[in-house]
Structure 1
């Protein structure tokens, strides 16, 4: 099989990086004495690595994180008291395989959203899909999907994502429709996928938003019973951000 045929096959199969690496092997005399299996392995590794980089970039775009550059290394430095818990959470991401959740609480500016995004970035590096949603934006989208008779499809789309981040879970009262749509969404993910929830309020204070104790019990039990809770302490980091550090 001649060189041009091989390159054409690479083009047909969309193996662009392998094609470039093959061209290099073809030119470099050092490869002439390399075993066929070693040359083939090197070519496949080049394509595999390139595909991973592209896949990770796509995942990052689809995740739409608020802090796309957040790293867990920064969080280890910033939240020293939670290093062990964070290390456990990041260990192979077993909690995602068990469809468990993470709840991050703390006052405004302490770094809840940044930490959620850092965990999300670490997850995507492992090939785990993530989607970032502001809590009230999600409620609006659920209502809109129901109005458009598209609720099941919208919920299924969300549930194909391994981790959905619900940022800034609020205490403002929900209307009856929002309560039931939220319950159905949480129920649809129970034991099937994971959530990361950030909130200014401790979980015990979430009941006030529901104005329906039975429904609140049903929702919170489905979240907290399978959750790793991280309570962040300290002063607001917004002044740090103005000096070039992280933000909420």
Structure 2
């Protein structure tokens, strides 16, 4: 009977319940459980399994640059990372309030890792997030206009609780990209959270965006009341290479 029950659980895709029941059968105990305790135990196992799968699917859909975790951040490296500030971000209230986080600093300093870690954490808390490299995003949007899928791409971005734009300003915006950026920012303003990473200081973003009227409109929505992380110090990638050379 137990094998038949396990087979039905598997076919019904009750994988959490299946694993819990199978484990119980393989590790017998003298403890006596009431029927409601047994049911609660199996339901809890199934609930946990489905929650885990939802989080994993959110992470897969987000396509983060790094597999990153907030608990793995290093705060004692002279990079000007405020642990208290990061922990405040960890409650995800900035997502609930549709706020912006701007992370700036030189190449290799850890901007993308921090953004990815915040995104991973948001997914674990049940939020939907998506990561884009900015130059690749706007190339993709140009192609989508050509093949008629532009609105579908924009709609996918709009549905996310958190949008991460990485490597903002690595190359100047052309006229078409400026308009697309304006549409993205306008659609998210007050509705969805945003994390932007950039090697370019915020006060230079006008030059990167170009066309002052559009730049004013975009930056007014991005920079006003944004949380700022201005990372300093040497490249973490170069530091790791130097440490490996010393070891070898």
TM-score range, shorter chain: 0.7 to 0.9
Q: Aligned partners of 1:148 and 1:124: how far apart in 2? A: 31
Question: 1:178-193, aligned counterparts within 5 Å?
Answer: 178-193=177-192
The equivalent of 2:109 in structure 1 is 110
Please name the residue that 1:83 is paired with. Answer: 83
Question: Secondary structure in 2 aligned to 1:132?
Answer: strand
Q: Answer yes or no: is the 8 Å Cα contact 1:104–1:232 preserved in 2.
A: yes
Are residue 206 (structure 1) and residue 205 (structure 2) matched? yes
Question: TM-score normalized by structure 2?
Answer: 0.87
The normalised TM-score by structure 1 is 0.87
2:145 corresponds to: 146
Hey, what does 1:46 align to over in structure 2? Answer: 45
> Which residues of 2 match residues 1-248 of structure 1 at below 5 A?
3=2, 6-7=5-6, 9-25=8-24, 30=29, 33-68=32-67, 70-77=68-75, 78=77, 79=79, 81-90=81-90, 92-170=91-169, 172-242=171-241, 243=243
Is there any run of 5+ residues in structure 1 with no aligned partner, and where?
none
SS state of the match for residue 190, structure 2? coil
- Seen in structure 2, the aligned counterparts of structure 1 residues 61 and 31 have a Cα distance that, compared at 3 Å, is farther
1:61-117 Cα offsets, whole Å, 9 max, x none, are 22222211x221232534564112111111x21110111111100111211111111
Partner SS state of residue 167, structure 2: strand
Do the aligned partners of 2:80 and 2:231 also contact (CA within 8 Å) in 1?
Answer: no
Structure 1 residue matching 2:106: 3-state secondary structure:
coil
Structure 2 gap ranges (5+):
none
C-alpha deviations, 1:102-156, integer Å up to 9, x for none? 1100111211111111111221221222211111111111111111222111100
- Other structure's SS at 2:82 match: helix
Cα RMSD (Å): 2.2
**More deviation, 19-28/184-193:** 19-28
Give the distance between the partners of 1:94 and 1:64, measured in 2 at CA: 22
Q: Distance in 1 between matches of 2:140 and 2:126?
A: 26
Change (3 A) 1:34 1:28: farther
